[in-house]
């Protein structure tokens, strides 16, 4: 059975997509069969991994609405063990079109159930909201990873996210656990980064990942080349940090 990890935080710009793309690529490099699911209508994970959105006929939108099978959505990437279920802006429509559907929160879960056995890891990149798309991701997942940017107000909005997670656990998905909180864009020269890191560690000593993702220019450059950072600059601190994170996550299972 695949480990299905939703990468969620309703704040934008905290490193969800960067983490989804680069953790997926790092797991694939460790020869774990990995699927990256883009649940954000912005489709940044889709383009960041190198797919041309204009050439996509079928996207996760069609899968959620039952218009195609999961297998039809799988797209190859430049990495042997990594496939993608892409998204384009039409996914915005799903939020509205699913409102009256039966079991609307479980559409992604049902879709992934078709192909789950083919993968060791399925990573879901969530949009910056707690709407139906994120609810679908949290219902399909067995674990949540929350990226937190090391800046002022990092904890703001967190209680709302934790509430949503616990509601989903009660109502829709009892197996959901919050296993990973990841510090992103950490700047070691900045006192604030250290303070925020310590505050988060105090609240979540069990969940905080040992790996810390540094602020690294290579991580922000790689998506414009359609590459995960490890194919762009493997020696960079950003690439090495996500490889470390993959090792940490794989090791947590043995
Ligand atoms: P989200 O998906 O949460 O909105 P992104 O992953 O898209 O966040 O990151 C927001 C912006 O910050 C992007 O431009 C991305 O390239 C950049 N970024 C993310 N993580 C880092 C990092 N560790 N170092 C430098 N830039 C980063
Ligand atoms: Mg994003």
Grade residue 150 by pLDDT with cuts at 50, 70 and 90.
confident
Banded model confidence at residue 93, pLDDT cuts 50, 70, 90: very high
> Residue 2: which of 119, 131, 172, 106 has the closest Cα?
119
Dump pLDDT digits (tens) for 163-175.
999 999 999 999 9
**Which residue among 38, 137, 188, 220 is best mutated to probe the pocket of ligand 1, counting the most ligand atoms within 8 A of its Cβ?**
220
Query: What is d(CA 227, CA 246) in angstroms, rounded to the nearest whole number?
Result: 17
Give me the mean pLDDT over the 100-112 stretch. Answer: 95
Lowest mean pLDDT among 79-93, 147-161, 177-191, 239-253: 147-161
Under 8 Å between Cβ of 52 and 101: no
Regarding the beta carbon of 145 and ligand 1, being less than 6 Å apart is answered no
Structure pTM?
Answer: 0.97
- Check residue 157 and give its pLDDT: 86
Cα separation, 24 vs 35, whole angstroms: 7
pLDDT of 253 higher than 90: no
Contact 132, 162 (CB under 8 A): no
DSSP 154: T
Instruction: For residues 39-67, give the mean pLDDT.
Output: 96
Model confidence at 82: pLDDT above 90: yes
Q: How high is the pLDDT of residue 153?
A: 84
Q: What is the pLDDT of residue 1?
A: 86
Per-chain mean pLDDT for the chain: 96
pLDDT reported for residue 152? 80
The pLDDT of residue 151 is above 90? no
Q: Is the pLDDT of residue 137 over 80?
A: yes
The ipTM assigned to this model is: 0.99
Q: Does 222 contact ligand 1 (Cβ within 6 A)?
A: no
Taking residue 76's Cβ as centre, other Cβ atoms within 10 Å add up to 10
Contact between residue 33 and residue 25 where contact means Cβ atoms under 8 Å apart: no
CA of 211 to the centre of ligand 1 (A): 17
Domains and CATH numbers, the chain: 3-251 (3.40.50.300)
- Percentage of the chain lying above the pLDDT 70 cut: 100
pLDDT at 155: 85
Q: Closest ligand 1 atom to the C-alpha of 9?
A: 3
pLDDT of residue 254 exceeding 80: no
């Amino acid at each position: 059975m695949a480990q299905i990890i939703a990468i969620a935080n309703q704040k934008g710009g905290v490193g969800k997509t960067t983490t989804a793309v680069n953790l997926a690529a790092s797991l694939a490099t460790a020869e774990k069969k990995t699927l990256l699911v883009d649940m954000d209508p912005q489709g940044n994970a889709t383009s960041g991994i190198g797919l041309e959105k204009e050439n996509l006929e079928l996207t996760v939108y069609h899968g959620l609405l039952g218009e195609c099978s999961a297998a039809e959505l799988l797209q190859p990437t430049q990495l042997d063990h990594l496939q993608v279920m892409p998204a384009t802006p039409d996914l915005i429509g799903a939020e509205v079109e699913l409102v009256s559907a039966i079991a609307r929160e479980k559409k992604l879960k049902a879709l992934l159930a078709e192909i789950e056995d083919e993968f060791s890891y399925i990573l879901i990149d969530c949009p910056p909201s707690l709407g139906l798309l994120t609810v679908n991701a949290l219902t399909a997942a067995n674990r949540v990873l929350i990226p937190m940017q090391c800046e002022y107000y990092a904890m703001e909005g967190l209680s709302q996210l934790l509430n949503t997670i616990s509601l989903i656990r009660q109502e829709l998905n009892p197996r959901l656990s919050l296993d990973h909180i990841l510090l992103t864009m950490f700047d070691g020269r900045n006192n604030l980064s250290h303070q925020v890191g310590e505050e988060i560690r105090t609240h979540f000593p069990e969940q905080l990942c040992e790996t810390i993702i540094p602020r690294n220019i290579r991580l922000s450059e790689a998506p414009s080349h359609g590459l995960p950072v490890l194919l762009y600059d493997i020696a960079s601190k950003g690439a090495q940090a996500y490889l470390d994170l993959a090792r940490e996550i794989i090791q947590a299972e043995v």
